[in-house]
Amino acid sequence: MPVPKATYKDYVIRYIYNGIMERRFQPGQKILEQELSLELGISRAPVREALRQLVGEGLLTYQPQKGHTVTILDAKQVLACYETRGVIEGYAAALSAPLLAREEMKELERLTGAMTRYARRGEHRELIERGEEFHSLILNRCPNGELLNAANRLSRMLHILFYTHWGTLYSPEEVASRHRLILEALRKGDSQEIEQVVRQHYFETGRKIAQQPDISRTKESA
């Protein structure tokens, strides 16, 4: 089926994102504009736009003369990404809490249950998508659009890291309990507690991923 012209750039972004998630594109691998254009059957202009955006989001790295490659993150960079997201989303969640409707709180509960089921089945992609919905529902209520933009800039990077490592980080029960802590803090409505719980949610995962062998020895092999 032909790709609608208006979505060419987004289509390329999704194609590369999926390729990294599925390990078709490995860390450090070159991503060639011309090859993507030919493979996807579209002009080079939207491919170029997509590559530029993914560089801005940190998924790709660009160097003159070398071109675009899939970003290789070391432990320090992983921690920086997760700490930044934790600070941003913690504050955003505190601002969002008073604006969340009863139906939205019920939806957060439903998503928590769904994540538990997908974690037990080992269905990684579905787990990531429900987690994205959980956090997006909270973020989208934030009245500060700049916070939302900053959080979204890191979202794809964190999804890929979590997708790759979650099975060695948390049990299905831990996946659920970590999100229930956020839900309980939102119900209480204490802005300081909400901010702290969400920060810790990301800080803990960042520390765990940074300690994974393929991350912690990145500098040595670079």
Range list of β-strands (E), the chain: 30-31, 60-63, 67-70
Indicate whether 64 and 125 sit together in one domain.
no
Indicate whether 14 and 95 sit together in one domain.
no
SS3 3: coil
Indicate whether 101 and 177 sit together in one domain.
yes
SS3 63: strand
Q: Return the structure tokens found at 76.
A: 């320090």
Indicate whether 103 and 167 sit together in one domain.
yes
Share of the chain above pLDDT 70, in %: 94
User: Is 90 exceeded by the pLDDT of residue 155?
Assistant: no
Residue 169 CB-half CA count within 13 A: 23
Tell me what the mean pLDDT of segment 45-59 comes to.
94
- What is the chain's alpha carbon radius of gyration, rounded to the nearest angstrom? 18
Indicate whether 176 and 192 sit together in one domain.
yes
Indicate whether 127 and 210 sit together in one domain.
yes
Q: CA 1, CA 116: separation in Å to the nearest integer? A: 35
Q: CA 176, CA 116: separation in Å to the nearest integer? A: 5
Q: CA 106, CA 119: separation in Å to the nearest integer? A: 20
Q: CA 24, CA 11: separation in Å to the nearest integer? A: 16
Tell me what the mean pLDDT of segment 68-80 comes to.
93
pLDDT band for position 216 (cuts 50, 70, 90): low
User: What are the b/e assignments for 97-135, b being 16+ CB within 10 Å?
Assistant: beebeeebeeebeebbebbbebbeeeebeebbbbbbbbb
Q: Which of 50, 70, 90 is the last residue of a domain?
A: 70
pLDDT at 222: 45
Query: Range of 148's domain?
Result: 75-215
Number of domains in the chain: 2
Q: Return the structure tokens found at 66.
A: 């070398």
Find out whether 88 and 151 touch, Cβ atoms under 8 Å: yes
Task: Decide if 182 is inside a domain.
Answer: yes
| C-alpha triplet 113, 155, 93: angle, nearest 5° | 65
pLDDT at 4: 58
Tell me what the mean pLDDT of segment 179-206 comes to.
96
Task: Decide if 51 is inside a domain.
Answer: yes
Task: Decide if 222 is inside a domain.
Answer: no
Q: CA 38, CA 75: separation in Å to the nearest integer? A: 35
